[in-house]
Structure 1
Amino acid sequence: MMNSPLIRALLLALSLAFIPVSAVQAETLDINNASPDQLSSVMVGVGPAKAQAIVDYREANGPFTSVDQLTAVKGIGSATIDKNRELISVSPAPAE
């Protein structure tokens, strides 16, 4: 009975429930390199228009130096940043 597919499935589901989200999602989306489609598909509360605004701001003003700088983009507030802080990152500036 211990080899039952149902018991194995339940044990697998139970073990997966205790894996920290950070262990599952190790990589973040770099807002300095992401396309509008990538931004809108990964970021919570960011649709196509806000994602395009992020890219437009980046193209007009240069790369972001921190995730918090997203508040400079119209329609992006600190609440949106807080919801996405663990999903996004900023690549370091290239060395000169």
Structure 2
Amino acid sequence: MQANVSNKIVPLTIIKGAGHEHIPIPDGECAIIADFHSIKSQRNDSDHYLTTGFYKVVPGPTRYGSYDYEETKYVLSGQIDVTDEATGITHHLVAGDWAFFHVGSKA
């Protein structure tokens, strides 16, 4: 067993009813972040939190992001093009695809 893992069994955290189907997007916007849930890491040597939520995007102006934190996105439905500014490669993501945004990423 790893040194930083507790020997005791830690209970699960369950959030019932989380969903993305009915997240409204404000007028004039093409994206919104909603239904966030955040929990503190159970590691003894960490003050970090794990946060999850839904990011809904509809056709509209291109949005650019710079990441000073780690983030993942999973495409539930539809499709989106994401351009990695470090490589210039545009990735076409569809339902079932994951994207990982590392600290320092721009997309």
TM-score (norm 2): 0.26
Larger fraction in helix: 1
Q: Which has the higher relative contact order, 1 or 2, with Cα contacts under 8 A spaced 6 or more apart?
A: 1
Larger fraction in strand: 2
Larger radius of gyration: 1
